[in-house]
């Protein structure tokens, strides 16, 4: 039954030849004091609540595993994505007690929303740079949080370049989730913020997690979560990184053994993951801590999104944005391939964690994808 369950197929699956998980090395890149401080600060923010860890019982039964847990970040503050933990925490740390400061960032959407929200909380001015690929819905969300949004002609990389130039000229403090030479502290803060998800999970289930599927754009979320695993989990699960097939920079770098840029021919609908290059600090963690990489196609996104909403995987309705679906798509794809399933040692004892990294952060896109997914489902019903 598991073999024929849905027709999701991965584009590519690779194994990391340089795998060598070391808690010590990981916590040297992202020191424990950062992780502890992130939890201490964030858990005191107004409205803080652990996001739910939903058991996807129906999917687990279909795939013949013990448990599949879905960390539902659509419930993260009012921002509906895990990014609320990163940028806003970095703003909090950088701005603390300084008057008349302006923060800036370049973003695909969710990070900028977090920075805008963080700036509003501490009373800082905020300038957000977006590329042509970022929707007006996302821009409006940031404006609603009080940020000035500047649209730049070109892709994400171009928006970051312009952000750096203008910020330097104006003395604005850049709060970026990507690291570059001599710019590592702020991205480390954002990653420390993301580790809060693992701190929460360590108290939300008594089961030892055996497998973790992690989405990657520039790799910050994956590396932040891996740091959390190194700090808070007693047993180390298998770690599988997921990317869109056209933006598989972590996979390419892992295969190559060093950083490798991807030429994105077509932007993925999973906007937050459509990145050409792995960030410097995450790479130091990912290069040895990741067991496998898997890339997936956009075409399965609508169906997975609709099935989550229509309780086809769990007893609970889940609002999952486009990036969130990639966890489901890659897990089902890996289980549909008997060789890969065996290689990953996914079986009836497995407790699998996937990250529902965002909710309907772009409502227009969500509704559009839901409609397409619904049509597809009707054909099967």
Is 130 within 8 Å of 107 (Cβ atoms)? yes
Nearer of residues 13 and 82 to ligand PLP, judged by Cβ: 82
- Work out how close the CB of 218 gets to ligand PLP at its nearest, in angstroms, rounded to a whole number: 4
> Phi first, then psi: what are they for 156, rounded to 5°?
-60, -45
Nearer of residues 55 and 110 to ligand PLP, judged by Cβ: 110
Closest CA to 156 of 45, 261, 307, 291: 261
Closest CA to 109 of 6, 237, 217, 255: 217
Is 286 within 8 Å of 4 (Cβ atoms)? no
Residue with tokens 């008349």: 100
Nearer of residues 92 and 358 to ligand PLP, judged by Cβ: 358
- Work out how close the CB of 192 gets to ligand PLP at its nearest, in angstroms, rounded to a whole number: 13
Nearer of residues 111 and 252 to ligand PLP, judged by Cβ: 111
- Using left for φ > 0, alpha for ψ between -120 and 50, and beta otherwise, residue 129 falls in beta
Residue 292 corresponds to which tokens in the numbers above? 């496998």
- Work out how close the CB of 279 gets to ligand PLP at its nearest, in angstroms, rounded to a whole number: 7
Nearer of residues 249 and 307 to ligand PLP, judged by Cβ: 249
Nearer of residues 101 and 191 to ligand PLP, judged by Cβ: 191
Q: Where are the alpha helices (DSSP H) in 96-237?
A: 110-122, 136-144, 156-170, 185-194, 196-201, 220-232
- Work out how close the CB of 81 gets to ligand PLP at its nearest, in angstroms, rounded to a whole number: 5
Residue 19 class from Cβ within 10 Å (0-12 exposed, 13-18 middle, 19+ buried)? Answer: middle
- Work out how close the CB of 234 gets to ligand PLP at its nearest, in angstroms, rounded to a whole number: 25
Closest CA to 315 of 53, 54, 1, 52: 54
- Work out how close the CB of 66 gets to ligand PLP at its nearest, in angstroms, rounded to a whole number: 26
Residues that bind ligand PLP (CB under 6 A): 81, 83, 108, 110-111, 177, 215-222, 272-273, 275, 323, 357-358
- In the bound complex, which residue of the shown chain has the CB atom lying closest to ligand PLP? 272
């Amino acid at each position: 039954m598991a073999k024929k369950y849905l027709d999701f197929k991965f584009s590519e699956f690779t194994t990391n030849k340089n795998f060598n998980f070391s808690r010590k090395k990981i916590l040297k890149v992202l020191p424990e004091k950062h992780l502890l401080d992130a939890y201490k600060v964030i858990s005191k923010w107004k409205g803080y609540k652990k996001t739910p860890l939903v058991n996807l019982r129906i999917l687990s039964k279909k795939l013949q595993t013990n448990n599949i847990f879905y960390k539902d970040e659509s419930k993260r503050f009012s921002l509906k994505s895990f990014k609320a933990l990163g940028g806003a925490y970095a703003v909090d740390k950088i701005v603390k007690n300084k008057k008349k400061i302006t923060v800036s960032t370049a973003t695909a959407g969710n990070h900028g929303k977090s920075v805008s929200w963080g700036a509003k909380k501490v009373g800082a001015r905020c300038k957000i740079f977006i590329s042509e690929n970022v929707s007006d819905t996302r821009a409006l969300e940031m404006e609603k949080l009080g940020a000035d949004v500047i649209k730049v002609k070109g892709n994400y990389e171009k928006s970051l370049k312009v952000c750096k130039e203008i910020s330097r000229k104006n003395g604005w403090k850049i709060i970026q989730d990507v690291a570059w030479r001599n710019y590592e502290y702020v991205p480390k803060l954002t990653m420390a913020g993301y580790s809060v998800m693992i701190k929460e999970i360590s108290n939300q289930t008594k089961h030892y997690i055996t497998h973790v599927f992690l989405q990657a754009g520039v790799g910050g979320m994956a590396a932040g979560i891996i740091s959390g695993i190194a700090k808070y989990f007693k047993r180390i699960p298998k770690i599988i990184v997921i990317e869109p097939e056209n933006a598989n920079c972590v996979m390419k770098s892992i295969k190559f053994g060093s950083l490798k840029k991807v030429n994105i021919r077509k932007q993925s609908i999973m906007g937050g993951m459509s990145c050409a290059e792995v960030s410097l600090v995450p790479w130091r963690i990912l290069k040895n801590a990741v067991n496998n990489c898997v890339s997936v196609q956009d075409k399965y996104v609508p169906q997975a999104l609709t099935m989550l909403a229509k309780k086809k995987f769990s007893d609970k309705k889940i609002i999952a944005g486009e990036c969130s679906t990639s966890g489901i798509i890659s897990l089902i794809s890996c289980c549909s391939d008997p060789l890969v399933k065996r290689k990953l040692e996914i079986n009836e004892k497995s407790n699998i964690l996937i990250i529902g990294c965002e909710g309907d952060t772009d409502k227009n896109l969500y509704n559009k994808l839901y409609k397409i997914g619904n049509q597809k489902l009707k054909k099967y019903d």
